[in-house]
Amino acid sequence: MKQLNVPATREIDGVFDWILANLDRLLIGGMVAAAIVAIMLGLRWIGHRLLANEPESWGWRGIIGRVLAKTSIFFMVAAAIDIVVSYAAVPAKLAHLADIFFIIAASLQVAIWAREIIVGVIRSRVGEDPGASTLGNAMALIRVLVNVVVFAIALVVILDNLGVNVTALVAGLGIGGIAIGLAAQGIFSDLFAALSIVFDKPFRRGDTVRYGTGTDTTVGTVERIGLKTTRLRSVTGEQVIMANTKLLEQEVRNLAEAKVRRVTLPFNLTYKTSPETLERLPAIAEEVLKGVKTAKLVRCVATAFAPSSIDCELVYDDRTISPDTLAQHKSDIIIGIARAFAAEKIEFAYPTQTTYTAAPDGTLVMPWAPPQPTK
């Protein structure tokens, strides 16, 4: 039994001899490791404090807090061991194992930090989401995709440092990604279009938009921005469902973002209208528009000599955004112009043809009755 214990005793003595020989290095490495671990624990505590004060914050303060709070004890231990090993003259196999342990811990930790930064930046770009369900679904999918990407990269880095040939693995992942992308390109195109809407914010839930051209123009209020489709409530009452990709391919006008609405009212006057009356058109229109507080006159002028009329137009800006109120104001202005013209005896024109005849002596016979003398 005593002979069997001799090798173990020698090994223990060898360990003690190694510790005594490297005591100063071990102490320096241990102090450096302890200092670094203490710093990381302090940063982690700061991260938790930042999140405790603003748990739902997605600004840079919240992103930094989440990154610091996600620093794992596993990474701290691996970093401490690697620092101690780098200071002490340990056997090559033990140093190699410490390096592998640190590489695995560091790769996973960097992947976690990268995930928190990417997700946090995306959430900060979105800000106050116009549709909570849209952002919830989008962020769930984004988080899955980010996890897959960052941890796949971490796995490749770990395997590469372990001496595994990762060329075939990377090629296989690339081919598999291409195959999946081709099979689901329609879904992914709508998904990225949805993310483009959420991030770029051309419109939000509740905005009234107009899209399309010509007879295919549609006006509706955005009810929901989904991952594949956007749903709008048209002015005629029915729900319009548009694929996100198709919607962004068209010209979209966000009516809710208009500061003012410019309205043009064309009208025609007879050729009997005097030049003095045409000059007074802006003053007449200005008086009418005083009854609509949100409207401001831009111009009221004659624009062309038409075959049977003098063409004119009234242009004004209305600060009202509501379509119903805008229509009511337009009706009030039209009625006001009609009353003002009736009071001024200004006649609207309609498509007519006037035939002039001549007497035997060549004198033109006017097609309207001569003015009656006033008594």
Work out how many domains the chain is built from and give that number. Answer: 3
pLDDT of residue 48: 79
pLDDT digits (tens, 9 = 90+) for 38-47: 888 888 888 8
pLDDT over threshold 60, residue 239 = yes
Residues 313 and 267 in one domain: yes
pLDDT over threshold 70, residue 300 = yes
pLDDT of residue 346: 93
Q: Answer whether residue 282 is part of any domain.
A: yes
Residues 36 and 185 in one domain: yes
Residues 101 and 156 in one domain: yes
Residues 252 and 328 in one domain: no
Residues 132 and 266 in one domain: no
Q: Answer whether residue 349 is part of any domain.
A: no
Tokens matching residue 224? 């929901």
Residues 90 and 164 in one domain: yes
Torsion region of 93: left, alpha or beta (phi above 0 gives left; psi -120 to 50 gives alpha)? alpha
Q: Answer whether residue 83 is part of any domain.
A: yes
Torsion region of 372: left, alpha or beta (phi above 0 gives left; psi -120 to 50 gives alpha)? beta
Instruction: Supply the range of the domain harboring residue 252.
Output: 193-256
Identify the band that residue 202 occupies on the pLDDT scale cut at 50, 70 and 90.
confident
Residues 273 and 335 in one domain: yes
Single out the residue in 191, 207, 225 at which a domain terminates. 191
Residues 146 and 231 in one domain: no
What's the CATH code of the domain at 198? 2.30.30.60
Q: One-letter amino acid identity for 370?
A: P
Q: Answer whether residue 123 is part of any domain.
A: yes
Q: Give, in degrees to the nearest 5, the angle at Cα 87 between 82 and 93.
A: 60
pLDDT of residue 5: 53
What's the CATH code of the domain at 316? 3.30.70.100
Residues 229 and 313 in one domain: no
Task: Tell me the HSE value of 202 on the side-chain side, using a 13 A CA sphere.
Answer: 19
Q: Answer whether residue 370 is part of any domain.
A: no
Q: Answer whether residue 128 is part of any domain.
A: yes
Q: What is Dmax (Cα atoms) for the chain? A: 157
Q: Answer whether residue 295 is part of any domain.
A: yes
Residues 16 and 63 in one domain: yes
CB atoms within 10 A of CB 258: 14
Contact 232, 239 (CB under 8 A): yes
pLDDT digits (tens, 9 = 90+) for 69-128: 888 888 888 888 877 777 666 667 777 788 888 888 888 989 998 888 888 877 776 555
| pLDDT, average across residues 289-298 | 92
Q: One-letter amino acid identity for 352?
A: T
Residues 268 and 246 in one domain: no
Residues 270 and 228 in one domain: no
Single out the residue in 137, 159, 191 at which a domain terminates. 191
Single out the residue in 159, 191, 223 at which a domain terminates. 191
| pLDDT, average across residues 300-309 | 93
Rounded to two decimals, the pTM is 0.51
Tokens matching residue 368? 């309207």
Alpha-carbon distance 126 to 58, whole Å?
9
Q: Among positive and negative, which fits the CA dihedral 309, 312, 313, 314?
A: negative
Q: Answer whether residue 252 is part of any domain.
A: yes
pLDDT digits (tens, 9 = 90+) for 264-293: 999 999 998 999 999 999 999 999 999 899
Alpha-carbon distance 170 to 182, whole Å?
18
